[in-house]
Amino acid sequence: MVPVNACKMSCGRSAVVLFAGLILMACGPRVAPSAQTGPASSPTPTPAQQSEVTPSPTASPQSKPSPTPSPEPLPTAAAATIKCSGGPGTSMVVVANSFLYDVSDPINPRLVCRGTDTSMHVLDGNAIAYTTVLASHVVIIRRDLTTGAESRIAQLRVAPRPFYWVSATWTWDGSLEVYSTSNATSTGTTWQVQVHLWSNGADHVLYTIQAGAGGIESRWAQRPILEFGPDHSYVAISDSAFSLYSNSVRIFLVADRRQKFVSAAASSGGTWIANDHFVWATLASSSTVLGKLMQWTPTGGATLLRSEFWYGPTSSSDGRWLAGTLLSGSYAAPGVFVAPLGSGRTLQTGLASSPKFVTPTVVWYAVEALTPSGYDQTTPSGVIHAVDVVSQTDKGVTFRAGEAPKTATGYTLCCRD
């Protein structure tokens, strides 16, 4: 039985970032976004991205024109800060976008790099890539972990708003990117969101959806899906990444930008595995009609994979294992559930959430504690455990002093990105 320790209440970075990003979408702009979240400009903008000037109407002498409200400037994300020490590790993983660990011993990890206002990625055994904002553009930087030397990889097109990595995805060479722009509609309280794919050096609008102000989100609400497949042939997108009121999950073939699949059911996250195989979880539609784990393949289409109520599924790097938070209709006792894609033993913890594979066979997760009051009946306790899916052993993770994945205010961020 996994121990439940009464530590300071904490939550994963994924929840913090997702909540902040969704609040931005839920509140909407103070004035309908006629020029909202335009893409970061490139040296050769496409015609579709260039602004079209509309002549202003001439006021008649008999009427005084009413003042036109000006949109308040949207905030710009801060430039990233990256601090590294000790050199690269033999087996490294990024946790919660901002912490790079050497997990050659996953029970006693070593912090290699810590970042803020960024998303990080392991490029190879000696280098990482991370995003930052330079001259009002989001750019990808390569950092050598031995020498500290840095070089610019690519400039992205997503607007440099705070938490920009929540509602955009890209390949780390910058050749592919999914992001959005938006235009006002006549009602002034809704707007159209255009979902773009940047590929082959050109910009393409994949589809358009409606978005609007307002909405309430909870801890176990929709989790956005924005992810390219392992070989970059396909991309999976959930409309909830751009609009609180949209549920569809879509899969596009990158080469011709054709939509290959769409589902109207709300989702709680998904993951690609080998052979263009996509797995995602659906949300419960009521306390008795619970979510399921679904799979899609180019040849087989969409089929049921598992009947349990999963949240935030993730996969091992070798594509042999799946892990997620297992929920019930009351959401009262979340636990981490690990299952093989083929035959084999499954594993379920006690109160826990937010699993992440840090090696092909070891999962880190956040231990949950009972909440005496509040909307949720449990919350992450600040304790992190590691479970080995082969030996089925479960142990607490011991971090060196000051190296746990925590914010400056002491909140633990674990473990999903």
User: What DSSP string runs through 332-393?
Assistant: -S-EEEEEESSSS--EEEEEEEEEEEEETTEEEEEEEEE-SSSSSSEEEEEEEEEEETTTTE
Instruction: Give the dihedral of Cα atoms 355, 99, 138, 259; nearest 10 deg.
Output: -20
C-alpha closest to that of 109 among 415, 331, 334, 321: 415
What's the confidence (pLDDT) of residue 362? 98
What domain range is 102 assigned to?
78-155
How many angstroms separate the CA atoms of 358 and 351, rounded? 20
Same domain, 24 and 90: no
Domain boundary among 155, 176, 192: 155
Residues of the chain with pLDDT under 50: 1-70
Same domain, 271 and 388: yes
* Residues 122-140: b if buried by 16+ CB within 10 A, e if exposed: bbeeebbbbbbbeeebbbb
Query: Taking every pair of C-alpha atoms in the chain, what is the biggest distance, in angstroms?
Result: 84
* 272 within a domain of the structure (yes/no): yes
* 189 within a domain of the structure (yes/no): no
Same domain, 146 and 281: no
Question: In the chain, how many domains are there?
Answer: 2
What's the confidence (pLDDT) of residue 217? 66
What's the confidence (pLDDT) of residue 187? 64
Tens-digit pLDDT profile for residues 238-286: 999 998 888 899 999 999 999 999 999 999 999 999 889 999 999 998 8
* 240 within a domain of the structure (yes/no): no
Kindly list the distances between the CA atom of residue 247 and the CA atoms of 142, 206, 236, 258, 264, in Å, as whole numbers in the listed order.
Answer: 35, 16, 13, 19, 6
What's the confidence (pLDDT) of residue 175? 98
* 289 within a domain of the structure (yes/no): yes
Same domain, 404 and 327: yes
Domain boundary among 134, 155, 176: 155
What's the confidence (pLDDT) of residue 408? 86
Domain boundary among 100, 120, 155: 155
Kindly list the distances between the CA atom of residue 18 and the CA atoms of 222, 247, 279, 371, in Å, as whole numbers in the listed order.
Answer: 10, 16, 20, 21
**Is the bond preceding residue 415 a cis peptide, omega within 30 degrees?**
yes
Rounded to two decimals, the pTM is 0.82
